[in-house]
Amino acid sequence: MTELSQKIDNIEQILKKIEKRKNLLIHSLHDLRVELNVPIPIAVESDGYQYIAYAPDSDIYGCGDTEYEAIDDLRQSIVELYFDLKDEKLGKDLQKIFNYLKSVINET
């Protein structure tokens, strides 16, 4: 019975974490060098100490003391990664991420 009780506790903890997650779309990267073709889906949640913003399609994270700071950090991380990868010879995994970024970002 204790094993079942532990499993129920684990499931409750996972559900509480999911309840705290907000799924959003960002429509701009707030950088004059680029613009988005389409909104990027992100998730924002708090771990109790800070907020974490995550873009699952590109596996990029941002963090901050507020939701806004986490999203802003994520935006900056996306732009920096785009320009870092742009002129590099990439392996399979990074090429996949860069291809996604190229599909959603236009340079202005």
Per-residue pLDDT tens for 22-69? 899 999 999 999 999 999 999 999 887 899 999 999 999 999 999 999
Task: Determine which of 4-18, 51-65, 71-85, 90-104 has the lowest per-residue pLDDT on average.
Answer: 4-18
* Range among 4-8, 12-16, 74-78, 85-89 rated most confident: 74-78
Task: Determine which of 13-17, 36-40, 45-49, 85-89 has the lowest per-residue pLDDT on average.
Answer: 13-17
Q: Which residues contact 58 (CB under 8 A, 6 or more apart)?
A: 40, 78, 81, 97, 100, 101
CB of 59 closer than 8 Å to CB of 43: no
| pLDDT attached to residue 48 | 77
Q: What's the whole-model pTM score?
A: 0.81
Single-letter residue type at 6: Q
